[in-house]
């Protein structure tokens, strides 16, 4: 079981009204999307984090680790936005010259990067509140109550299911390789990783085929009755 899914079913707020929790998080999420004030972003980040850690009783270290994973991708994206390339150096706050080009930071790119970084982090904490406090079965009921299309709900269920299939198959292959010292060196690790990826694709497709057969045997007609 994913640690996020585990907390969704065991957090201290699990028995509270899922609709109220959903609307609560979505209101702050929308505020983050519509707002451009960094202090508002920081307030939302701190507020949602306090609720997640102290009220939902999510382990602080686990929460920080969950934040750090998307934060690394976010940082790389922000760096790409932060630095600009131009032949004219008058707009740069700080820059270095490479050949005939100036690479550096402008006031516009700096302001844009700060807003995007804190906005993304603010939205992330709101999304984590939903993921960590509302189990998938309650979330599906929420989606049905707010009249989301059945196709969207079915896609959520299937994607959710295949995440577990994917991780289960990857774990089994990794354990088998590790027991055969497949990751004892860098060279073997690269070889084992490439074999894991290729084998994982085949095994996931086989699991998909098994699921299709199972649905056909239950007279699946293109619609899940959730």
Domain-located, residue 24: yes
Domain-located, residue 158: yes
**Domain count along the chain:** 2
Residue 158 CB contacts under 8 Å (≥ 6 apart), including other chains:
none
48 pLDDT more than 90: yes
Instruction: Pick the most confident of 31-45, 106-120, 135-149, 151-165.
Output: 31-45
Mean pLDDT of 116-145: 91
Give the span between the Cα atoms of 48 and 45, in whole angstroms: 5
Do 116 and 174 share a domain, yes or no?
Answer: no
Question: At 97, is the secondary structure helix, strand, or coil?
Answer: strand
**Confidence at residue 55, expressed as pLDDT on a 0 to 100 scale:** 92
Question: At 95, is the secondary structure helix, strand, or coil?
Answer: strand
51 pLDDT more than 80: yes
Do 118 and 168 share a domain, yes or no?
Answer: no
Domain-located, residue 57: yes
Of 191, 37, 44, 188, the residue nearest 124 (C-alpha): 44
Spacing of C-alpha 30 from chain mean position: 18
Range of the structural domain that residue 201 is part of = 149-217
Do 118 and 206 share a domain, yes or no?
Answer: no
Terminal-residue alpha carbon distance, the chain: 22
Q: For residues 35 and 168, which has the higher predicted lDDT (pLDDT)?
A: 35
Where residue 221 falls among pLDDT bands split at 50, 70, 90? low
Give the span between the Cα atoms of 149 and 135, in whole angstroms: 20
Q: In what order do the strands lie in the sheet with 92-98?
A: 83-86, 101-106, 92-98
Average confidence score pLDDT of the chain: 84
Instruction: Copy the structure tokens of residue 14.
Output: 């699990």
53 pLDDT more than 70: yes
Where residue 225 falls among pLDDT bands split at 50, 70, 90? low
Domain-located, residue 208: yes
pLDDT tens by residue, 72-122: 888 888 888 887 777 666 767 776 777 777 777 777 778 888 899 999 999
Domain-located, residue 93: no
């Amino acid at each position: 079981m994913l640690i996020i899914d585990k907390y969704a079913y065991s957090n201290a707020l699990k028995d509270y009204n899922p609709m109220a929790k959903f609307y609560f998080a979505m209101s702050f999420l929308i505020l983050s999307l519509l707002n451009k004030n960094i202090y508002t972003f920081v307030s939302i980040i701190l507020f949602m984090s306090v609720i997640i850690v102290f009220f939902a009783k999510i382990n602080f270290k686990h929460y920080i680790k969950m934040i750090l994973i998307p934060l690394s991708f976010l940082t790389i994206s922000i760096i790409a936005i932060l630095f600009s390339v131009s032949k004219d150096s008058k707009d740069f706050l700080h820059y270095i010259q490479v050949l005939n080009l100036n690479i550096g930071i402008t006031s516009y790119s700096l302001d844009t990067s700060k807003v995007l970084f804190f906005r993304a982090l603010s939205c992330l904490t709101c999304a984590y509140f939903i993921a960590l406090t509302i189990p998938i079965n309650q979330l599906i009921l929420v989606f049905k109550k707010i009249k989301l299309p059945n196709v969207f709900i079915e896609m959520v269920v299937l994607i959710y299911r295949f995440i577990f299939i994917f991780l289960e198959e990857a774990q089994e292959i990794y354990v088998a390789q590790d027991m055969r010292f497949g990751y004892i060196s860098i060279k073997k690790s690269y070889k084992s990783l490439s074999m894991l990826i290729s084998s994982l694709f085949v095994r996931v497709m086989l699991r998909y085929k098994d699921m299709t057969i199972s649905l056909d045997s239950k007279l699946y007609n293109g619609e899940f009755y959730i």
